Amino acid sequence: MMGAGILLTTTAHETSAHDPSAIPRVEPLLHMDLPRLHVPTRPPEHLDLPGPLARLTDLAYNMWWTWHRDARRLFNRIDPNIWSRYLNPVRLIQLSRTSHLEFLANDVGFLEQMHKVLEAFDADMNRPDQPGDPIWYVSAEYGLHECLPIYSGGLGILSGDHLKAASDIALPLVGVGLFYRRGYFNQLIDVDGYQQHNYPELDGLRVPILRVRDENGHTLRVPVEMPGRVVNLRVWACFVGRIPLLLLDSFSSTNALEDRYITSMLYVRGREMRLAQEVVLGRGAVALAEALGASPRIFHMNEGHSAFLGVENMRRSGQPDLTSAIESVRHLHAFTTHTPVPAGNEVFDPEAVRPYLEQTAQDLNSSTDSLLNLGTVDGQTGFNLTKLALNISSVNNGVSKLHGEVSSKMWPEYKIGSVTNGVHMATWLGPEIAKVLEAKPDSHPQTLAERAAQLSDESIWAAHNAQKHRLMRFVHLRGVRQAARHGHAPEQLKCFEQVLNTQALTIGFARRFAPYKRADLLFSDPERLRRLLTDTTCPVRLLLAGKAHPADRPGQDVIRRIWELASTDELRGRIVVLEDYDSGVARLMVRGVDVWLNTPEWPREASGTSGMKSVANGGLHASIPDGWWAEADLPDCGFTIGKPELPDHERDALALMDLLESEIVPLYYARGPNGLPREWIAKVRRSMVAFLGRFSARRMLEDYVREVYDSE
C-alpha cells in the first residue's frame, strides 16, 4: 500500500460544528511508501500552521492539487490574492498572516471544506497498488505545473502527465530527474522582437519539494563517480499523487564549487556541462535506487538524456566482460525516443565522453573504445546517446505510429515499436467543459467520450465560449502589459481590445520555436494573411506563444519576424505574440482557442500533444498529417493540411491558406437562425467522441504496462 499523509482519527462530520477546537492536532507524515521502497522526507520546518490546519502541508507538498479542482478552491479560500499571484501552496502558506491562519483554524466552514478534500486525498493515496516492483521512469524534465519550472516544453509536459496517469491507475512508479535551481529561462521579447533570457533562481524552500532524509535523519546524498572525483547529489522529493518524483541536486557544500552547478540549468548551452549533467542524471538514478534499497522492475529512459544509467548498470553487474554485462542488464532497460530531429538526439565529442567511461571499461575488463562503440553511428562522428540507449535496451518505442515507422527507418538494425502519446485529461480539461462532461478527477476518459456524444450543441458552444472569454481576458491584459513595457501610447494599447471580440474565430499556435515546427508558415504571404485577419465580416484572430532555445538563433529569428508583423498598426491586436510561454499559458490557450494549428515539416513531428488538449476542450485541430494526427485524421474530425509528403514550404503555405479561406473560416461563420454554427459544433462533438479516450494519458499508460513494462 502507498500513502502520503495519515488519516484523521476524527473526521469533519464527527466533530462539533460549534467547537472547532475539538478537531485534534494531527501532524503530517509527508512520505511515500511503495512496495519495497520507502521515501522519507525531512519535515517542512519553515512552515508554521495552527494545529487544526497541520495537514494542509500534506496537500501543499503533493502535486495532487494540480488536477483536483476542490483542492485548488481550498487554497484559493485561504487568500485569493496570494493564490492568484503565485499558484503555489507553499508560498501561499508562507505569505499568509499568522492571525489569518489562526482565524481559519477556528472557521468551521473552512475546516469542513478542508476535511472533505483530505478525505478524497486519503482515499486516493491509500488505494492498493498494482502488483510488482516499481518502474523507475527517468527523464531530463518534468512539467507538472508552472510553480515548479523544471521543464522547457513538450517532453517535460509529457513526463508530468505520465506520472499523473500512473498515480490515477495505481501503477507503482518512481520518477527521477534533476532539480534545476535556475530552471528554464523566463522569456521577454523586447520592442524589436528579440528574445531576452532571464534565469531566476529557485529556492527549494519555496516550492512543493522536500528533502529526502537518510537513515540518520540527515539529507540523503548519493555519490556519483565522475572523472577523478565523486559528486554527491542531494535528493529532493516532489510527490505527484501516489508517485514520488525524486530530484537530484549537485548544489551542495560537499562538492567542489565547479561541480555545484552541474544541475543548475535545464538544457545548458555548454556541451561539456550538458554531458556532465546527463551523466549525473543516468548514473545518479541507479545510485539512488541502491541508496533507497529499491529493486526496479525496469528503468524507463524517457529520451536519450538518461542513457548513462545503462552504463552504470553494466558497471555494477559484476560480469567479467562487456558483452556479458550488456546481456545481463538489458532486461532492466526500456527506451522511448521522442524525436527524429538531429538536435533532439544528443551527440557528444567522443574524447569528451572517454573519461566518463574509462573506469567502467576497467571494471568490465574491456577497452574504452569498445564502450564508445556503443554510441557510434556508422558514417558519423560523435557519441550518440540514442544509439547507446538502443544498444542496451530490451524494448524501444516511438511516440506515435508514424514516428515508430520513421524511427525504424532511421535505426533499421533495431526493433522499434510505438506507444502513441496521450494527455492527462483531468489536468487539461477546462472548468466549463469538465462541468458539462460531468468530469471528475477519476473519470475514465472513454466515459467522457461517451458523454460528449450526448451533449447538445448549446452546451458545447456555451462551455467552450466561456473558456474562450477567460483566455481573451488574459490575452488582453498580457498584450497591453507587454506593449506598455515597450513604451506604446494609450491609443496603441487600446488596439488590444480587438482580442476581446470573442465572436471572432481564434487560431492558436504554441510550441517551441524550432525552425522545423514552422511557426512562420502562416506568414509566407503577408498580404493574403492581412486580408484574412482584417475582414470585418468574418474576423480572425491569431495567438502565438513559445520559446526558442537560447542557442537557437534561427528559431529566435522566426519570433522576431512574426513580432514585427504583429506590431504593425493594422495587425496589432489581431496577431498577438504572448511572451513567456509556460504550462499556465498553455492551459488557457488549449482550452480557449477555436482552432489549434500544427505545421511541422513532415515527418519530423514525433507526436505533439497540444492538439489533443485543444480537441478535448471543444477546439478543432488543423495539422500537417504528422505525429499523432497521422493516425487520428478521421473524416469530419478536424482539418488536415496537405498530404504526407516531404516538406515544400511554398506548397504547404498555399495549402494552409486555401484551407483557412475555403473551409475553416466559412464553416465557423455558417450560422443558423439562432446564431449557432451547427456544422462546426457537430465537427467538435465528433472530435471529442473520437479522441477523448483514444489520446488520453490513461490509455498511454495502459499501453506502456502491456507493451513495455510487462513485456516478455
Q: How far apart (Å, rounded) are the C-alpha atoms in residues 531 and 622?
A: 20
- The greatest distance separating any two alpha carbons of the chain, rounded to the nearest whole angstrom, comes to 81
Q: Among the listed ranges 16-20, 325-329, 531-535, 564-568, which one has the minimum average pLDDT value?
A: 16-20
Encode 311-325 in three state secondary structure: HHHHHCCCCCCHHHH
The secondary element (H helix, E strand) that includes residue 625 is none
Q: Among the listed ranges 43-52, 324-333, 677-686, which one has the minimum average pLDDT value?
A: 43-52
User: What backbone phi and psi angles, to 5 degrees, belong to 153?
Assistant: -175, -135
Among 382, 370, 346, 168, which Cα is nearest to 268's? Answer: 346
Burial 637-647 (b: 16+ CB within 10 A, else e): bbbbbbeeeeb
What value does the mean pLDDT of the chain take? Answer: 94
Residues 6+ apart with CB under 8 A from 488: none
Residue 15: the pLDDT is 38
Residue 498: the pLDDT is 83
Give whole-number Cα distances, 88 to 80, 92, 401, in Å.
12, 6, 38
Amino acid identity at 410 = M
Residue 46: the pLDDT is 84
Amino acid identity at 277 = Q
Give whole-number Cα distances, 124 to 218, 329, 361, 442, 459, in Å.
29, 34, 46, 9, 31
Q: How far apart (Å, rounded) are the C-alpha atoms in residues 456 and 676?
A: 12
The domains of the chain, with CATH numbers, are 12-125 (no CATH), 135-303+334-348 (3.40.50.2000), 427-702 (3.40.50.2000)
C-alpha cell belonging to residue 460 = 458545447
Q: How far apart (Å, rounded) are the C-alpha atoms in residues 591 and 672?
A: 25
Amino acid identity at 209 = I
Cα angle for residues 231, 237, 240 (degrees, 5° grid): 140
C-alpha cell belonging to residue 442 = 477519476
Q: Going by DSSP bridges, is the β-strand pair 333-336/195-198 parallel, antiparallel, or unpaired?
A: unpaired
Q: How far apart (Å, rounded) are the C-alpha atoms in residues 574 and 567?
A: 10
Q: Which residue has the cell 482580442?
A: 499
Q: How far apart (Å, rounded) are the C-alpha atoms in residues 565 and 427?
A: 34
| pLDDT at 563 > cutoff 60 | yes
Q: How far apart (Å, rounded) are the C-alpha atoms in residues 72 and 674?
A: 37
| Contact predicate 244/237, CB 8 Å | yes
| pLDDT at 669 > cutoff 50 | yes
The secondary element (H helix, E strand) that includes residue 40 is strand 37-40
Q: How far apart (Å, rounded) are the C-alpha atoms in residues 255 and 233?
A: 9
| Contact predicate 248/288, CB 8 Å | yes
Q: Any idea what DSSP says for residue 380?
A: -
| Contact predicate 151/132, CB 8 Å | no
Q: What is the dihedral of CA 49, 51, 57, 58, to 10 degrees?
A: 180
pLDDT digits (tens, 9 = 90+) for 210-244: 999 999 999 999 999 999 999 999 999 999 999 99
Give whole-number Cα distances, 356 to 271, 278, 281, 350, in Å.
14, 11, 13, 10
C-alpha cell belonging to residue 711 = 513485456
| Contact predicate 78/104, CB 8 Å | yes
Q: How far apart (Å, rounded) are the C-alpha atoms in residues 292 and 279?
A: 20
pLDDT digits (tens, 9 = 90+) for 102-150: 999 999 999 999 999 999 999 999 999 999 999 999 999 999 999 999 9
Q: How far apart (Å, rounded) are the C-alpha atoms in residues 435 and 254?
A: 51
Residues 6+ apart with CB under 8 A from 536: none
Residue 699: the pLDDT is 98
The secondary element (H helix, E strand) that includes residue 70 is helix 69-78
**DSSP H helical segments within 593-646, as ranges?**
610-616, 629-632
| pLDDT at 632 > cutoff 90 | yes
Q: Going by DSSP bridges, is the β-strand pair 210-211/639-640 parallel, antiparallel, or unpaired?
A: unpaired
Q: How far apart (Å, rounded) are the C-alpha atoms in residues 11 and 203?
A: 35
- Reported pTM: 0.95
Residue 651: the pLDDT is 97
C-alpha cell belonging to residue 242 = 501516489
Q: How confident is the model over 555-580, as a mean pLDDT?
A: 95
| pLDDT at 344 > cutoff 90 | no
C-alpha cell belonging to residue 648 = 515544400
Amino acid identity at 129 = D
Q: How confident is the model over 288-306, as a mean pLDDT?
A: 97
Give whole-number Cα distances, 359 to 287, 376, 385, in Å.
16, 19, 19
Q: How confident is the model over 165-188, as a mean pLDDT?
A: 97
* C-beta neighbour count of 48 within 10 angstroms: 10
Residue 4: the pLDDT is 40
Q: How far apart (Å, rounded) are the C-alpha atoms in residues 704 and 696?
A: 13
Q: How far apart (Å, rounded) are the C-alpha atoms in residues 590 and 618?
A: 9
Q: Angle, to 10 degrees, between the axis of helix 308-315 and the axis of helix 350-363? A: 20
Among 384, 432, 461, which Cα is nearest to 588's? Answer: 432
| pLDDT at 174 > cutoff 70 | yes
Residue 485: the pLDDT is 94
C-alpha cell belonging to residue 663 = 473551409
| Contact predicate 171/139, CB 8 Å | no
Q: How far apart (Å, rounded) are the C-alpha atoms in residues 313 and 331?
A: 11
**DSSP H helical segments within 411-456, as ranges?**
425-428, 431-436, 445-452
pLDDT band at 36 (very low <50, low <70, confident <90, very high): low
Q: Is 518 left (phi over 0), alpha (psi -120 to 50) or beta?
A: left
